[in-house]
Amino acid sequence: MFKSRLVYILAAVLILAVALASCNTVQNVYDQVQETIDAEAALTPETAPTQAGTSEETGQSIEVSAPDPNFINSVGACRVKTDPIFSYPYASDSDWSIGVDDPAVTIIVYSDLQCPYCGLMDPEINTLFEAHKDETRMVYRQFPLDYHANAQVAAQSAEVVGEALGNEKFFEYISSMFAAQAEWQELDADDFLAYLQLKVENEYGLDPAEFTERLESDEIAARVEEDFNNGAGFVSGTPFVLMNGIPLMYFPSTIASFEDAYQFAKEFPNLVYDECPEMTIDIEKQYLAAVETTKGTFVIELYPKSAPYTVNSFIYLVNQGYFDNSPFHRVIADFVAQVGTGITGEIGPGYEFDNEIDPNLSYDKAGVVGMANRGEGTNTSQFFITYTPQPTLDGSYTIFGQVIEGMPVVESLQQVNPQTDTEPVEPDYIVKITIVEK
Protein backbone atom coordinates (compact mmCIF):
# COMPACT_ATOMS: atom_id res chain seq x y z
CA MET A 1 0.00 0.00 0.00
CA PHE A 2 1.23 3.52 -0.73
CA LYS A 3 1.76 5.54 2.41
CA SER A 4 2.44 9.06 1.22
CA ARG A 5 0.94 11.59 -1.17
CA LEU A 6 4.19 11.76 -3.10
CA VAL A 7 4.25 8.01 -3.62
CA TYR A 8 0.56 8.03 -4.55
CA ILE A 9 1.18 10.64 -7.23
CA LEU A 10 4.16 8.69 -8.58
CA ALA A 11 2.01 5.57 -8.78
CA ALA A 12 -0.78 7.51 -10.50
CA VAL A 13 1.63 8.95 -13.03
CA LEU A 14 3.14 5.55 -13.77
CA ILE A 15 -0.30 4.11 -14.39
CA LEU A 16 -1.65 7.07 -16.32
CA ALA A 17 1.38 7.47 -18.51
CA VAL A 18 0.93 3.90 -19.67
CA ALA A 19 -2.85 3.65 -19.67
CA LEU A 20 -3.28 7.18 -21.07
CA ALA A 21 -6.39 7.43 -18.94
CA SER A 22 -6.81 11.19 -19.09
CA CYS A 23 -4.06 13.21 -20.76
CA ASN A 24 -3.69 10.99 -23.78
CA THR A 25 -1.58 11.90 -26.80
CA VAL A 26 -1.75 11.67 -30.54
CA GLN A 27 -1.19 8.22 -32.02
CA ASN A 28 2.51 7.57 -32.51
CA VAL A 29 5.06 4.83 -32.61
CA TYR A 30 5.51 4.87 -28.86
CA ASP A 31 1.81 4.58 -28.02
CA GLN A 32 2.30 0.82 -27.60
CA VAL A 33 5.16 1.16 -25.19
CA GLN A 34 3.78 -1.29 -22.65
CA GLU A 35 3.38 -3.95 -25.32
CA THR A 36 6.69 -3.53 -27.07
CA ILE A 37 9.28 -2.90 -24.40
CA ASP A 38 9.20 -6.43 -22.97
CA ALA A 39 8.21 -8.31 -26.09
CA GLU A 40 4.48 -8.09 -25.54
CA ALA A 41 3.62 -6.74 -28.98
CA ALA A 42 4.11 -10.09 -30.73
CA LEU A 43 4.42 -12.28 -27.66
CA THR A 44 0.76 -12.34 -26.66
CA PRO A 45 -1.59 -15.18 -25.79
CA GLU A 46 -4.08 -13.94 -28.36
CA THR A 47 -1.63 -14.79 -31.16
CA ALA A 48 -0.43 -18.08 -29.71
CA PRO A 49 -2.17 -21.47 -29.85
CA THR A 50 -2.82 -23.20 -26.55
CA GLN A 51 -3.34 -26.80 -27.63
CA ALA A 52 -1.04 -29.55 -26.41
CA GLY A 53 1.39 -31.45 -28.60
CA THR A 54 -1.22 -33.32 -30.63
CA SER A 55 -2.89 -32.72 -33.96
CA GLU A 56 -6.52 -31.64 -33.75
CA GLU A 57 -7.19 -33.27 -37.11
CA THR A 58 -5.67 -36.71 -36.42
CA GLY A 59 -5.24 -36.85 -32.67
CA GLN A 60 -1.73 -38.20 -33.26
CA SER A 61 1.32 -37.10 -31.33
CA ILE A 62 3.45 -34.39 -32.91
CA GLU A 63 7.20 -34.96 -33.00
CA VAL A 64 8.91 -32.30 -30.92
CA SER A 65 12.16 -30.60 -31.83
CA ALA A 66 15.55 -31.06 -30.20
CA PRO A 67 18.98 -29.54 -30.82
CA ASP A 68 21.07 -31.06 -33.59
CA PRO A 69 24.48 -31.86 -32.02
CA ASN A 70 26.16 -31.12 -35.34
CA PHE A 71 24.58 -27.67 -35.77
CA ILE A 72 26.59 -24.70 -34.50
CA ASN A 73 24.99 -21.26 -34.76
CA SER A 74 26.91 -18.13 -35.61
CA VAL A 75 27.48 -15.75 -32.72
CA GLY A 76 24.88 -12.96 -32.64
CA ALA A 77 26.17 -9.42 -32.86
CA CYS A 78 26.04 -7.40 -29.64
CA ARG A 79 25.82 -3.65 -29.16
CA VAL A 80 26.14 -1.38 -26.15
CA LYS A 81 22.98 0.75 -25.87
CA THR A 82 23.54 4.49 -26.11
CA ASP A 83 20.23 5.34 -24.39
CA PRO A 84 18.55 3.48 -21.50
CA ILE A 85 15.28 2.84 -23.37
CA PHE A 86 15.08 4.82 -26.62
CA SER A 87 16.70 7.76 -28.35
CA TYR A 88 15.39 11.13 -27.23
CA PRO A 89 16.50 14.77 -27.68
CA TYR A 90 19.19 15.47 -25.12
CA ALA A 91 19.08 18.67 -23.09
CA SER A 92 20.57 21.62 -24.96
CA ASP A 93 20.98 25.37 -24.67
CA SER A 94 17.76 25.85 -26.63
CA ASP A 95 15.74 24.23 -23.82
CA TRP A 96 14.05 25.99 -20.93
CA SER A 97 16.13 24.73 -18.03
CA ILE A 98 17.33 25.50 -14.53
CA GLY A 99 20.07 23.94 -12.45
CA VAL A 100 23.70 23.10 -13.06
CA ASP A 101 25.49 22.69 -16.39
CA ASP A 102 27.17 19.38 -15.50
CA PRO A 103 24.44 17.53 -13.62
CA ALA A 104 24.45 14.12 -11.99
CA VAL A 105 20.79 13.83 -13.01
CA THR A 106 18.93 15.54 -15.83
CA ILE A 107 15.15 15.66 -15.44
CA ILE A 108 13.21 16.30 -18.64
CA VAL A 109 9.47 16.95 -18.33
CA TYR A 110 7.10 16.89 -21.30
CA SER A 111 3.94 18.56 -20.07
CA ASP A 112 0.61 20.14 -20.95
CA LEU A 113 -0.31 23.16 -18.83
CA GLN A 114 -3.99 22.18 -18.88
CA CYS A 115 -3.40 18.51 -17.97
CA PRO A 116 -4.60 17.92 -14.37
CA TYR A 117 -2.05 15.17 -13.72
CA CYS A 118 0.73 17.49 -14.87
CA GLY A 119 -0.56 19.93 -12.26
CA LEU A 120 -0.30 17.24 -9.60
CA MET A 121 3.23 16.33 -10.58
CA ASP A 122 4.66 19.84 -10.89
CA PRO A 123 5.04 20.62 -7.17
CA GLU A 124 6.50 17.17 -6.51
CA ILE A 125 9.12 17.53 -9.24
CA ASN A 126 9.91 21.06 -8.00
CA THR A 127 10.40 19.73 -4.48
CA LEU A 128 12.73 17.04 -5.80
CA PHE A 129 14.70 19.60 -7.78
CA GLU A 130 15.06 21.93 -4.79
CA ALA A 131 16.41 19.04 -2.70
CA HIS A 132 19.10 18.32 -5.32
CA LYS A 133 19.51 21.62 -7.15
CA ASP A 134 23.31 21.58 -6.81
CA GLU A 135 23.59 18.43 -8.95
CA THR A 136 20.48 18.54 -11.15
CA ARG A 137 19.36 20.11 -14.39
CA MET A 138 15.62 20.33 -14.96
CA VAL A 139 14.25 20.82 -18.48
CA TYR A 140 10.67 21.64 -19.44
CA ARG A 141 9.29 20.85 -22.89
CA GLN A 142 5.88 21.80 -24.25
CA PHE A 143 3.44 19.05 -25.18
CA PRO A 144 -0.03 20.65 -25.44
CA LEU A 145 -2.79 18.22 -26.36
CA ASP A 146 -5.30 19.32 -28.96
CA TYR A 147 -8.38 18.39 -26.94
CA HIS A 148 -7.34 20.72 -24.12
CA ALA A 149 -8.82 23.90 -25.55
CA ASN A 150 -6.48 26.36 -23.83
CA ALA A 151 -3.31 24.25 -23.72
CA GLN A 152 -1.71 25.61 -26.90
CA VAL A 153 -2.19 29.26 -25.97
CA ALA A 154 -1.05 28.56 -22.42
CA ALA A 155 2.14 26.99 -23.77
CA GLN A 156 2.74 29.97 -26.05
CA SER A 157 2.21 32.38 -23.15
CA ALA A 158 4.94 30.59 -21.19
CA GLU A 159 7.28 30.96 -24.17
CA VAL A 160 6.66 34.71 -24.24
CA VAL A 161 7.29 35.08 -20.52
CA GLY A 162 10.48 33.02 -20.75
CA GLU A 163 11.68 34.98 -23.77
CA ALA A 164 11.19 38.27 -21.91
CA LEU A 165 12.35 37.31 -18.43
CA GLY A 166 14.53 34.19 -18.67
CA ASN A 167 14.59 30.62 -17.41
CA GLU A 168 13.84 31.21 -13.74
CA LYS A 169 10.73 33.25 -14.52
CA PHE A 170 9.67 30.69 -17.13
CA PHE A 171 9.58 27.93 -14.51
CA GLU A 172 7.91 30.22 -11.99
CA TYR A 173 5.26 31.02 -14.57
CA ILE A 174 4.45 27.43 -15.53
CA SER A 175 4.12 26.50 -11.86
CA SER A 176 1.75 29.39 -11.32
CA MET A 177 -0.32 28.27 -14.31
CA PHE A 178 -0.50 24.73 -12.98
CA ALA A 179 -1.54 25.99 -9.55
CA ALA A 180 -4.31 28.14 -11.06
CA GLN A 181 -5.68 25.59 -13.55
CA ALA A 182 -9.15 25.75 -12.00
CA GLU A 183 -9.31 29.48 -12.74
CA TRP A 184 -8.64 29.32 -16.47
CA GLN A 185 -9.13 25.86 -17.93
CA GLU A 186 -12.85 26.38 -18.67
CA LEU A 187 -12.53 29.90 -20.08
CA ASP A 188 -13.38 30.58 -23.71
CA ALA A 189 -10.66 31.94 -25.99
CA ASP A 190 -11.43 35.63 -25.45
CA ASP A 191 -11.73 35.36 -21.69
CA PHE A 192 -8.56 33.27 -21.50
CA LEU A 193 -6.61 35.88 -23.44
CA ALA A 194 -7.89 38.59 -21.07
CA TYR A 195 -6.89 36.39 -18.12
CA LEU A 196 -3.35 36.00 -19.48
CA GLN A 197 -2.99 39.71 -20.24
CA LEU A 198 -3.96 40.63 -16.69
CA LYS A 199 -1.70 37.94 -15.22
CA VAL A 200 1.46 38.90 -17.09
CA GLU A 201 0.90 42.60 -16.41
CA ASN A 202 0.19 42.28 -12.67
CA GLU A 203 2.57 39.45 -11.82
CA TYR A 204 5.38 39.84 -14.36
CA GLY A 205 5.31 43.49 -15.39
CA LEU A 206 4.82 42.82 -19.10
CA ASP A 207 2.95 45.20 -21.37
CA PRO A 208 -0.34 43.47 -22.35
CA ALA A 209 -0.30 44.72 -25.94
CA GLU A 210 3.30 43.68 -26.58
CA PHE A 211 2.63 40.36 -24.85
CA THR A 212 -0.39 39.68 -27.08
CA GLU A 213 1.46 40.56 -30.26
CA ARG A 214 4.26 38.15 -29.38
CA LEU A 215 1.83 35.49 -28.12
CA GLU A 216 0.10 35.37 -31.50
CA SER A 217 3.30 35.37 -33.57
CA ASP A 218 4.22 32.47 -35.83
CA GLU A 219 7.66 32.23 -34.21
CA ILE A 220 6.28 31.51 -30.74
CA ALA A 221 3.80 28.97 -32.12
CA ALA A 222 6.65 27.29 -34.01
CA ARG A 223 8.67 26.88 -30.80
CA VAL A 224 5.83 25.01 -29.13
CA GLU A 225 5.29 22.92 -32.23
CA GLU A 226 8.98 21.99 -32.34
CA ASP A 227 8.88 20.69 -28.75
CA PHE A 228 5.75 18.69 -29.52
CA ASN A 229 7.11 17.19 -32.73
CA ASN A 230 10.41 16.22 -31.11
CA GLY A 231 8.54 14.30 -28.43
CA ALA A 232 5.74 12.85 -30.53
CA GLY A 233 7.71 9.73 -31.39
CA PHE A 234 7.91 8.51 -27.81
CA VAL A 235 5.80 10.59 -25.42
CA SER A 236 2.99 8.21 -24.44
CA GLY A 237 1.06 10.58 -22.18
CA THR A 238 1.44 13.73 -20.14
CA PRO A 239 3.19 14.26 -17.84
CA PHE A 240 6.06 12.32 -19.37
CA VAL A 241 9.19 12.49 -17.24
CA LEU A 242 12.68 11.20 -17.97
CA MET A 243 15.44 11.04 -15.40
CA ASN A 244 18.79 10.51 -17.10
CA GLY A 245 16.87 9.23 -20.10
CA ILE A 246 14.73 6.74 -18.16
CA PRO A 247 10.95 7.26 -18.38
CA LEU A 248 9.27 6.99 -14.98
CA MET A 249 7.20 3.95 -15.98
CA TYR A 250 10.35 1.89 -16.60
CA PHE A 251 11.98 2.26 -13.22
CA PRO A 252 12.22 -1.02 -11.28
CA SER A 253 9.17 -2.05 -9.25
CA THR A 254 11.13 -1.41 -6.05
CA ILE A 255 11.04 2.34 -6.75
CA ALA A 256 8.44 3.80 -4.39
CA SER A 257 8.97 7.56 -4.54
CA PHE A 258 10.41 10.36 -6.64
CA GLU A 259 13.44 10.38 -4.35
CA ASP A 260 13.99 6.67 -5.00
CA ALA A 261 13.69 7.32 -8.73
CA TYR A 262 16.21 10.16 -8.50
CA GLN A 263 18.75 8.05 -6.64
CA PHE A 264 18.32 5.17 -9.08
CA ALA A 265 18.82 7.49 -12.06
CA LYS A 266 21.92 8.94 -10.43
CA GLU A 267 23.39 5.49 -9.84
CA PHE A 268 22.19 4.04 -13.14
CA PRO A 269 25.48 4.42 -15.08
CA ASN A 270 27.12 2.18 -12.46
CA LEU A 271 24.38 -0.47 -12.71
CA VAL A 272 24.65 -1.21 -16.41
CA TYR A 273 27.53 -2.66 -18.38
CA ASP A 274 29.44 -0.43 -20.77
CA GLU A 275 30.63 -3.29 -22.94
CA CYS A 276 29.30 -6.60 -24.21
CA PRO A 277 30.32 -9.78 -22.37
CA GLU A 278 33.33 -11.64 -23.70
CA MET A 279 32.63 -15.10 -25.08
CA THR A 280 33.77 -17.41 -22.29
CA ILE A 281 31.61 -20.51 -22.70
CA ASP A 282 32.77 -23.71 -24.39
CA ILE A 283 30.06 -24.76 -26.82
CA GLU A 284 31.19 -28.37 -26.59
CA LYS A 285 30.30 -28.48 -22.90
CA GLN A 286 26.91 -29.01 -21.26
CA TYR A 287 25.50 -26.23 -19.13
CA LEU A 288 22.62 -26.55 -16.69
CA ALA A 289 20.96 -23.68 -14.84
CA ALA A 290 19.35 -24.50 -11.49
CA VAL A 291 16.78 -21.76 -10.94
CA GLU A 292 15.77 -21.40 -7.30
CA THR A 293 12.44 -19.59 -6.94
CA THR A 294 10.04 -18.74 -4.17
CA LYS A 295 8.04 -21.83 -5.27
CA GLY A 296 10.95 -24.25 -5.54
CA THR A 297 13.72 -25.09 -7.99
CA PHE A 298 13.64 -26.05 -11.65
CA VAL A 299 16.51 -26.90 -14.00
CA ILE A 300 17.14 -25.59 -17.50
CA GLU A 301 19.41 -27.37 -19.97
CA LEU A 302 21.06 -24.61 -21.98
CA TYR A 303 21.80 -24.86 -25.71
CA PRO A 304 25.27 -23.35 -26.28
CA LYS A 305 25.54 -24.59 -29.87
CA SER A 306 22.10 -23.36 -30.88
CA ALA A 307 22.44 -19.96 -29.22
CA PRO A 308 26.05 -19.35 -28.19
CA TYR A 309 25.83 -15.63 -27.54
CA THR A 310 22.50 -15.89 -25.73
CA VAL A 311 23.77 -18.65 -23.46
CA ASN A 312 27.04 -16.80 -22.87
CA SER A 313 25.16 -13.60 -21.91
CA PHE A 314 22.76 -15.54 -19.69
CA ILE A 315 25.60 -17.23 -17.82
CA TYR A 316 27.49 -13.94 -17.54
CA LEU A 317 24.49 -12.20 -15.97
CA VAL A 318 23.83 -15.17 -13.67
CA ASN A 319 27.41 -15.00 -12.41
CA GLN A 320 26.98 -11.26 -11.77
CA GLY A 321 23.89 -11.95 -9.62
CA TYR A 322 21.84 -9.94 -12.10
CA PHE A 323 18.75 -12.16 -11.87
CA ASP A 324 18.69 -12.50 -8.09
CA ASN A 325 15.31 -11.34 -6.73
CA SER A 326 13.86 -10.81 -10.22
CA PRO A 327 10.05 -11.13 -10.33
CA PHE A 328 8.14 -13.40 -12.68
CA HIS A 329 6.39 -10.27 -13.89
CA ARG A 330 4.21 -11.95 -16.52
CA VAL A 331 2.77 -15.42 -15.93
CA ILE A 332 -0.17 -16.41 -18.13
CA ALA A 333 -1.75 -19.87 -18.08
CA ASP A 334 -1.43 -21.85 -21.33
CA PHE A 335 1.09 -19.31 -22.56
CA VAL A 336 4.36 -18.33 -20.86
CA ALA A 337 6.07 -17.32 -17.63
CA GLN A 338 8.32 -14.29 -18.21
CA VAL A 339 11.15 -13.11 -15.97
CA GLY A 340 14.59 -11.51 -16.11
CA THR A 341 14.14 -7.79 -15.55
CA GLY A 342 17.06 -7.93 -13.14
CA ILE A 343 18.48 -5.13 -11.03
CA THR A 344 17.72 -2.44 -13.61
CA GLY A 345 14.09 -3.39 -14.17
CA GLU A 346 12.88 -3.38 -17.76
CA ILE A 347 15.81 -1.23 -18.85
CA GLY A 348 18.13 -4.21 -19.27
CA PRO A 349 21.85 -4.70 -18.64
CA GLY A 350 23.05 -1.92 -20.95
CA TYR A 351 23.66 -3.98 -24.06
CA GLU A 352 21.49 -5.81 -26.59
CA PHE A 353 22.13 -8.55 -29.12
CA ASP A 354 20.74 -10.31 -32.16
CA ASN A 355 18.44 -13.30 -32.40
CA GLU A 356 20.05 -16.71 -32.81
CA ILE A 357 17.49 -18.86 -34.56
CA ASP A 358 18.20 -22.59 -34.74
CA PRO A 359 15.99 -24.07 -37.51
CA ASN A 360 16.03 -27.39 -35.69
CA LEU A 361 14.19 -25.95 -32.68
CA SER A 362 10.59 -24.92 -32.22
CA TYR A 363 8.24 -23.71 -29.52
CA ASP A 364 6.41 -26.99 -29.84
CA LYS A 365 6.10 -28.11 -26.22
CA ALA A 366 6.01 -26.95 -22.64
CA GLY A 367 9.21 -25.84 -20.96
CA VAL A 368 10.91 -24.26 -23.99
CA VAL A 369 13.06 -21.33 -22.84
CA GLY A 370 13.26 -18.32 -25.14
CA MET A 371 14.52 -14.75 -25.14
CA ALA A 372 11.97 -11.93 -25.00
CA ASN A 373 12.60 -9.01 -27.33
CA ARG A 374 10.88 -6.04 -28.93
CA GLY A 375 12.16 -6.70 -32.42
CA GLU A 376 15.19 -8.10 -34.17
CA GLY A 377 18.42 -7.21 -32.42
CA THR A 378 16.86 -6.15 -29.10
CA ASN A 379 17.52 -9.15 -26.86
CA THR A 380 18.73 -8.10 -23.42
CA SER A 381 17.98 -10.11 -20.27
CA GLN A 382 14.30 -11.05 -20.18
CA PHE A 383 13.41 -14.64 -20.97
CA PHE A 384 10.29 -16.80 -20.90
CA ILE A 385 9.24 -20.42 -20.46
CA THR A 386 6.34 -21.87 -22.43
CA TYR A 387 3.43 -23.65 -20.77
CA THR A 388 2.10 -25.12 -24.03
CA PRO A 389 3.21 -25.32 -27.67
CA GLN A 390 3.55 -21.82 -29.13
CA PRO A 391 4.70 -22.28 -32.75
CA THR A 392 3.71 -18.71 -33.70
CA LEU A 393 6.81 -17.62 -31.80
CA ASP A 394 9.10 -19.64 -34.06
CA GLY A 395 11.65 -17.59 -35.95
CA SER A 396 11.16 -14.43 -33.91
CA TYR A 397 12.47 -15.41 -30.48
CA THR A 398 15.73 -17.20 -29.74
CA ILE A 399 15.36 -20.63 -28.12
CA PHE A 400 18.27 -21.18 -25.77
CA GLY A 401 17.16 -23.92 -23.41
CA GLN A 402 14.62 -26.42 -22.13
CA VAL A 403 13.29 -27.10 -18.64
CA ILE A 404 14.34 -30.69 -17.91
CA GLU A 405 13.44 -30.86 -14.21
CA GLY A 406 10.89 -29.10 -12.02
CA MET A 407 8.30 -28.11 -14.61
CA PRO A 408 5.60 -28.39 -11.89
CA VAL A 409 7.42 -25.54 -10.12
CA VAL A 410 7.10 -23.39 -13.23
CA GLU A 411 3.43 -24.31 -13.50
CA SER A 412 2.82 -23.31 -9.87
CA LEU A 413 4.09 -19.74 -10.29
CA GLN A 414 1.70 -16.97 -9.32
CA GLN A 415 -0.38 -15.82 -12.30
CA VAL A 416 0.39 -12.21 -13.30
CA ASN A 417 -0.98 -10.36 -16.31
CA PRO A 418 -0.05 -6.65 -16.34
CA GLN A 419 -2.56 -5.99 -19.11
CA THR A 420 -5.62 -7.36 -17.32
CA ASP A 421 -4.92 -7.44 -13.58
CA THR A 422 -7.10 -4.86 -11.86
CA GLU A 423 -5.47 -5.28 -8.44
CA PRO A 424 -1.78 -5.54 -7.50
CA VAL A 425 -0.49 -9.11 -7.57
CA GLU A 426 2.50 -10.25 -5.53
CA PRO A 427 4.61 -12.25 -7.99
CA ASP A 428 6.96 -15.11 -7.36
CA TYR A 429 10.67 -14.39 -7.66
CA ILE A 430 13.93 -15.91 -8.73
CA VAL A 431 15.97 -16.26 -5.57
CA LYS A 432 19.17 -17.36 -7.24
CA ILE A 433 20.42 -19.16 -10.33
CA THR A 434 23.33 -21.61 -10.19
CA ILE A 435 25.19 -22.71 -13.31
CA VAL A 436 26.48 -26.28 -13.48
CA GLU A 437 29.08 -27.00 -16.17
CA LYS A 438 29.69 -30.54 -17.35
Question: Which residue, of 270, 304, 332, is where some domain finishes?
Answer: 270
Whether residues 253 and 366 fall in one domain: no
pLDDT in tens, 85-102: 888 999 999 999 999 999
Whether residues 261 and 118 fall in one domain: yes
CATH number at residue 346: 2.40.100.10
Higher pLDDT, 53 or 220: 220
pLDDT (mean) for 22-31:
37
- Does residue 27 lie in a domain region? no
What is the overall mean pLDDT for the chain?
A: 87
Of the listed ranges 49-63, 124-138, 373-387, the least confidently predicted one is 49-63
- Does residue 200 lie in a domain region? yes
Is the pLDDT assigned to residue 21 strictly greater than 50?
no
Question: Which residue, of 270, 291, 325, is where some domain finishes?
Answer: 270
What's residue 53's pLDDT? 38
Whether residues 292 and 366 fall in one domain: yes
User: How far is it, in rounded angstroms, from Cα 141 to Cα 136?
Assistant: 16
pLDDT band at 43 (very low <50, low <70, confident <90, very high): low
Whether residues 213 and 171 fall in one domain: yes
Domains of the chain: total: 2
- C-alpha distances in angstroms, 176 versus 123, 139, 158, 173? 10, 17, 10, 5
Whether residues 66 and 168 fall in one domain: no
Whether residues 298 and 213 fall in one domain: no
Whether residues 111 and 245 fall in one domain: yes
pLDDT in tens, 150-196: 999 999 999 999 999 999 999 999 999 999 999 999 999 999 999 99
What's residue 69's pLDDT? 83
Question: Which residue, of 250, 270, 290, is where some domain finishes?
Answer: 270
Whether residues 282 and 377 fall in one domain: yes
- Does residue 102 lie in a domain region? yes
Range of the structural domain that residue 279 is part of: 38-81+275-437
pLDDT (mean) for 226-236:
94
pLDDT (mean) for 48-77:
60
Whether residues 204 and 322 fall in one domain: no
